[in-house]
Structure formats: structure tokens, C-alpha cells
Chain A
Amino acid sequence: MNNFWEYIRKNNFGLLFLFLEVIAVTITSVERQRPKLFFLNSSNFVVSSVYSLYYSFYSYVGLKKDNEMFVEEIINLKNNCPKNFRYVPEDRDTIKKYAYIEAHVINNTIDKQNNFLTIDKGRKDGVREGDAVISYGNAVGVVVNVSNHYAVALSLLNTMSGVSAEVKRTKHWGSVIWDGKNYNYALLEGIPNHIKLYKNDTIVTSSYSTIFPEGITIGYIDTLWKNNEDNFYTIKIRLATDFKSVKYVLIVKNLHGREIKDIETQTEEIYE
């Protein structure tokens, strides 16, 4: 027995080491099977408050990736939104009306009379002529030319563009055109002047458009005056899209656009 104590006194360094190792290994194996027994984890108050402070700074690093994820999720939701579908009794099926594709604007002008946007998605991504371009729920333009990997869209800021629009509150429809003067403003024509309109009334795309889905915001009424000669308003609208900073866009495909156009032209031919 004496020898034993003598041994311990001489080798207390090694024994202490073994003792500490045993403690560590015990904690490790117990913690592995029954987490939280020793509170050696980040779920306790001290550690979690340190980490939440840290993540409030660190989360900025991942913002770009998060944004991409959100855009993907939005596309997903938009594609499956009930507004996109219509039940057809004869087919006994719901049919899809709109499909969405995300894209980035890679070139954009605002200083000419006829402005275009170039988009990094093309025919191989499913983009076709006549698809609508929207950004954060606001109208941007219409695709007019498609190559395999890129597409060019006619911006709303183009004297040749004309979008079927309506006043959200009263449902009266007209046409939005651009006069080529200021990239923040466009004109709305064709609203009869017996209706009461107010400043900041929202102008949205109308259901008559085969390009845009119904209810996409175009802008807000800025100033309006009555024309005496033709009983229509001339309305200056403030565009909802900031064309100077448009970056992420969604391309909206009206899956029935061609069918609608075909039947309309057929009808016109018959009655001409």
C-alpha cells in the first residue's frame, strides 16, 4: 500500500493527465448519447447570445445566396399560384395560364427614344417573343427578340410600346405610352373624362392584355387634365419601376397568348 501512494506521488503529472482525459472522454460519450446533459453545447443562454450577436453581423455575407434562394422560391410560388390556373370542364382538368422564368438584366438604356433591355435568358431557357418582363411585381417591358441564350425586351420607355392598362380602383381601361421625355413618367390615354380620378390612383395592366398578367402595377397617377376636344383625360403617370436600377426581372409567359391571338385574327379575317 505504501508503494502505491509513493507511485502516485511520483507520477502525479501522468495520473492527472489520465484523470482529465477520462473526464473529457466521459463527457464526450455521454454528451453524444444524451445531449444537453453537461450543457457543453450552443443551446445555452450565454453561448447563444454570443452567437446571435455574431450572426447579426455575419449574415450579411450570405445575403447574395439568400436572395438567389428567395428568387427561386418566388418563381416556384408564382408558377404554382392558383391565379395561374383555370379549370376547363371539357378537359376535366385545370390548365395553367402563366409560367415564370427569372432573369438578370445585363444591358439597359433609358436615354434614347427607343429603349431596350437585354436579358440573360433566351430561347433555350424557354423565353419567346411576346413574353412580358416584370420586376418586383411592376411592369418593365415586352420581349421582342430572342436568341439562343439572350433576349431583348422593348422597355416601357419606348415610344413604340403600348401597354393595355386600367385604373385599379375603377377598372376603366386605356393604353400606357411613353412620350420620350422623362424616364420616370409615362402617359395613360383613353380614359373618358367623366370618371373621377385622383392623384396617386394605381394604374395596373388590364385583363385585355395578352402579354401581361392582370393586375401588374405600371405606375401611379401624377397629374391629369381634361381634354376639351375629345372627352378623354390626358394622364401623366409616375412609373412604378425604377428603370435606372432594374436588375432582377421575371419573364412571364402567357401560355395561351398565341391561342388568343390566333382566334382574334381569325375573327377579324371573317368579318372584314
Chain B
Amino acid sequence: MELQLSIKYFIYGLLLLLLQILLFNHIPLGTGMIISVPVLLLLLLPLEVNKITVLLSAFFFGLILDFFSDSLALNTAALTAVAYFRPLIFKIFEPSRGYESGKLPSAFYLGLGKFILISLMATFIFELFYHFFDLFSFKKFLIIFYKSVLTTIFSTSIIIILHVLFFRNK
């Protein structure tokens, strides 16, 4: 069961990776601004998975992504940050009775509204870290913030579309 799950997420990760490097990396929204979908992988991991496992898989997934996209180690840093804040985000949106065990935190379990908020937060963290390490300066905070907000809007829309289209019966 554990192995089956790992293989499934490995395939998800591969698909997202291909989507990112073959499609979204080639759609520029502006200087240094692209749509990023890999956050979706972290959002869809089961809640029971050990948070250190999540952190490490985010790190290596980011490294592979950077390996292909000439983005230094920006994706690595940003994805690791999302993995760190992931338990916190899910805690904020925890139902009053707590999460049922064995359920994926998908839009079909949490409801679309909650899922949109969760992905907005996660994507914003991702983009904020991404652009912060890209420009690497506190003085340029306004530019970082502006870029992050803009890319968050686009990335989240795509993430939700992808999620609703391809992870329907989960």
C-alpha cells in the first residue's frame, strides 16, 4: 500500500514536472514571471504523511525541477518553504471535527472554496520565496510583492483547473 502510494505520487510528480518544463516555463508573464504548478503535488499529498518526508520530497522535487529549468535553486527553496508551512495551512482550514483519516485534501473532500483558499496561500508562499530568492533584496520588496501577487493569481487558477480536471475521482 505504501509502495503503491509512492508510485502514484511519483507519477503525479513526473506529470507536473513535464507540464512545468515543457509548457509553463515557455509562457512568460513578464520578466522572471511564469506560471508554477508543482505546488499542486504538495497540496495533494495525504495528510498522514510524515511532515519530514514531505519536506525532503519537496526539496528533491524542487532540485529536479531546477535541474531542468535553469532557475538556480529557486524552485527548491520555494517548494521547501511550502512544505514547511503546509501543516500550518491545513491546520487553519481544519474542519471542526478534524480531518478524516485516509482522505486526500482535495477540493472534493474540503469543498472548492476551502481548496481555493488553501492553494492561494500555498502558491503565494511559493511565489514569495521564489521571487525573494530571485531578486534577493529587501529593498525591492514592492517589486517582489507585486510579482508574487500577479503570478499567484495565474498559478492558482491553473492549479485549480488542473486539479478539477485530472484528479476528479480522488
- Using CB atoms and an 8 Å cutoff, list the residues of chain A in contact with chain B: 12-14, 16-17, 20-21, 23-25, 27-29, 31-32, 38-42, 47, 50, 54, 58
Contacts and interface: CB of A to CB of B under 8 A. Distances in A.
Contacts of B22: 54
A25 B66 CA distance: 13
A42 B55 CA distance: 25
10 contacts: A20-B55, A24-B133, A27-B73, A27-B76, A28-B73, A28-B74, A29-B136, A31-B72, A40-B66, A54-B22
B76 A42 contact: no
Given A13-B55, A16-B55, A40-B63, A21 B80 contact: yes
A38 B26 CA distance: 24
B169 to A, nearest CB: 30
A47 B51 contact: no
A54 B68 CA distance: 12
Best-buried of B77, B81, B136 by chain A (most CB within 10 Å): B77
B68 A50 contact: yes
Interface residues of B, number: 25
Contact of B52 (A12, A28, A39, A41): A12
Contact of B77 (A12, A16, A28): A28
Given A17-B81, A24-B74, A39-B67, 5 more contacts: A17-B80, A17-B83, A24-B76, A25-B133, A38-B73
B70 A41 contact: yes
A24 B79 CA distance: 10
A17 B73 contact: no
Given A20-B59, A40-B63, A31 B84 contact: no
B62 interface: yes
A54 B84 CA distance: 34
A44 to B, nearest CB: 8
A38 B70 CA distance: 12
Interface of B: 22, 26, 51-52, 55-56, 59, 62-63, 66-70, 72-74, 76-77, 80-81, 83-84, 133, 136
A125 to B, nearest CB: 33
Contacts of A13: 51-52, 55, 84
Nearest to B58: A20
Given A16-B55, A25-B133, A42 B68 contact: yes
Contacts of A29: 136
A135 B81 CA distance: 59
A21 B68 contact: no
B23 to A, nearest CB: 10
A47 B68 contact: yes
Nearest to B77: A24
A47 B25 CA distance: 14
B73 A40 contact: yes
Given A27-B72, A40-B67, A54-B22, A21 B77 contact: yes
A31 B52 contact: no
A23 B77 CA distance: 8
